[in-house]
Chain A
């Protein structure tokens, strides 16, 4: 019997597979087709203080081995999330979840974190300082070490739950930002968020996405994600959740060898709603094939 367990800041996950925020809603659509309790955890749809409709349509553009989205943090706002969505989610998922929060000001991050701190089912607060789809928010805080650290400190001050900062790849030096978050008290890091991308409809001579640009995700960005996870994990002493194009059990193992303690699966959920289940079922087979007994043994084994 192989051992799939991993540990994130004292929380033991049955396996490292976590659907990424924004690709799994609150689990409802997936619970209709398989028992989502097999998942290591779930990072649910990004929450902001106020309800947001998000960006104009079209919000989706296809790419080679991936897609661009410009959803723009559509969510019903933190109060409705806590009062309705999390109550519904507790009925279909019984393990600790990851609360992904965003803001347009330090105060908003703090308000969301405070609300999530009170939710017993929330195991980790994942602070999104890297959404490329909203102006003056999200990514604005994630592109500089000082502002990323400022958000980290502010959120840490209002919660006793582990705080993970979700980092943007759209920066010149992700390691410097990662270190700044660690120094500011982050318990862990999630990376990478989507890469800023753009597609043009050449027949109409217009951008495909109404907002012109959006977040590029999918297998196409996997090598970039592995590289950044590797660089960051080497530079910090806190756990890293690796994500970016992960679509198979082999990708999970590669991401963990690069330094990830757990792995999030994003875009792949949208094209194959069974993908997380399939990865969890495939992991023991791939581990046996590769001579891995304990999955946590391979975390960051690449020198």
Chain B
């Protein structure tokens, strides 16, 4: 972890209330998809933890949803503004374990980290299967970006307005896969955990520090207490206790 000043190179509202933000600066320590950054927003005491969508030596891109006053203020910042950021945080996904037929499942604002992971797989010569779940067609994000990687994601919507009507687990039934990577709301993670043979699950929690000092986001696992921020956010199927 390091504290870096990153400059906003672009900010775009890609869907109602969902923003993509490119941040330039030294991001060379980011080393796994699924890691996150913790952003100081002026006027707010705690930083905002946001997962990384894609990254390189000199940039990170984040995709975040406005869920409160802090993310609202972040969404109103301008190109050229500087952000005080702690990065990289968390363990991230381990693509090595995914085998030949990995399945990537993102739900809602849990979709963005799956993009970085998909890119990683493609760099390894594996085209992963991707399922993206949303409430409605109006919530769908990043579909085009996945297609540009050469992936044809399966979309599910709860109201049936796009793709398969239902939940991501409905789409999983017909697929041949041996390992799942997923990020999204906890009920979705649990439903996937129930049916997936093995996999990695990225959790979300309210946290204060984001780097393992405050014990604000501890959960119990088969291997003892883990901090979502530092020992996670990615946990392995076999260690998760619901």
Chain A interface: which of B73-81, B171-179, B217-225? B217-225
Listed stretches A53-61, A142-150, A182-190; interface member = A53-61
B interface bracket (residues with beta carbon within 8 Å of A): 20 to 34
Report if A24-B213 is in contact (Cβ < 8 Å); known contacts: A66-B45, A271-B45.
yes
Tell me whether chain A's interface is mostly helix, strand or loop, or mixed. loop
Question: Are B45 and A65 touching (Cβ within 8 A)?
Answer: yes
Shortest distance between the CB of A83 and any CB in chain B (Å):
15
**Residues on the B chain within 8 Å of A22, using CB:** 214-215
Q: How far is the CA of A218 from the CA of B3 in the complex (A)?
A: 20
- Distance of B220 from chain A, by nearest CB (Å): 6
With A62-B46, A274-B3 known as contacts, the answer to whether A67 contacts B208 (CB < 8 A) is: yes
Cβ B215 vs Cβ A71 within 8 A: yes
**Residue from A23, A59, A218 in contact with B45 in the complex, judged by beta carbons closer than 8 Å:** A218
Q: A29-B211, A67-B208, A273-B86 are in contact. Are A57 and B217 (CB under 8 A)?
A: yes
Q: Who on chain B is nearest to A57 by CB?
A: B205
Does A289 count as interface, using CB distance less than 8 angstroms? Answer: no
The one of A60, A66, A208 in contact with B214, judged by C-beta atoms closer than 8 angstroms, is A60
Q: Contact flags (1/0) for B1-41 with A, using CB distance below 8 Å?
A: 11100000000000000000000000000000000000010
Q: Which of B174-224 contact A (CB under 8 A)?
A: 205-209, 211-220
Chain B CB within 8 A of A207 CB = no
Q: Is the CB of B225 within 8 A of A53?
A: yes
Is the CB of B119 closer than 8 A to any CB of chain A?
no
In the complex, are the beta carbons of B206 and A59 less than 8 A apart? yes
Hey, which chain A residues are within 8 Å of B207, CB to CB?
Answer: 60
Query: Is B44 an interface position by the 8 A CB rule?
Result: yes
> How near does chain B come to A203, taking the closest CB pair, in angstroms?
9
Q: Quick check: is A64 within 8 A (CB to CB) of the other chain?
A: yes
**Would you give the shortest CB distance from A271 to chain B, in whole angstroms?**
6
Residues of chain A with a CB closer than 8 A to B220's CB: 53
Bound state CA distance, A296 and B43, in angstroms?
34
Smallest beta-carbon distance B222→chain A, Å: 14
If A59-B206, A62-B45, A69-B208 touch, does A270 touch B214 (CB 8 Å cutoff)?
A: yes
Taking CB as reference atom, which chain A residue is nearest B47? A271
Q: Give bound CA distance, A29 to B215, whole Å.
A: 12
Q: Is A96 an interface residue (CB 8 A)?
A: no
Q: Tell whether, in the assembled complex, residue B216 and residue A29 are in contact, meaning their CB atoms are under 8 Å apart.
A: no
A74 within 8 Å of B by Cβ? yes
A72 and chain B: residue at smallest CB distance: B215
Contacts of B44 in A (CB 8 A): 62
Is A303 an interface position by the 8 A CB rule?
no
Determine if A29 and B45 form an interchain contact, defined as CB atoms under 8 angstroms apart.
Answer: no
Q: Which of A24, A218, A273 has the most CB of B within 10 A?
A: A273
B209 — nearest CB in chain A belongs to which residue?
A270
A84–chain B nearest beta-carbon distance, Å: 12
Whether, in the assembled complex, A63 has its beta carbon less than 8 Å from a beta carbon of chain B, the answer is yes
Q: 1/0 per residue A255-276: CB within 8 Å of B?
A: 0000000000001011111100
Is the beta-carbon distance between B45 and A63 smaller than 8 angstroms?
yes
Residues B213 and A23 in contact, CB atoms below 8 Å apart: yes
B218 touches A74 (CB 8 A): yes
Contact of B218 with A53 in the complex, beta carbons under 8 Å: yes
The listed residue (B2, B86, B208) touching A60 by CB distance below 8 A is B208
- On chain B, the residues within 8 Å of A57 by CB distance are 205-206, 217-219
Q: Which 8 residue pairs across A and B have the least CB separation, nearest first?
A: A270-B209, A60-B216, A58-B206, A29-B212, A62-B46, A60-B208, A74-B215, A270-B208
Chain B residues near A (Cβ < 8 Å): 1-3, 40, 44-47, 70, 86, 205-209, 211-220, 225, 230
What are 9 residue pairs bridging A and B, where the CB atoms are less than 8 Å apart in the complex? A29-B211, A53-B220, A57-B218, A60-B46, A60-B216, A66-B45, A67-B208, A219-B45, A273-B86
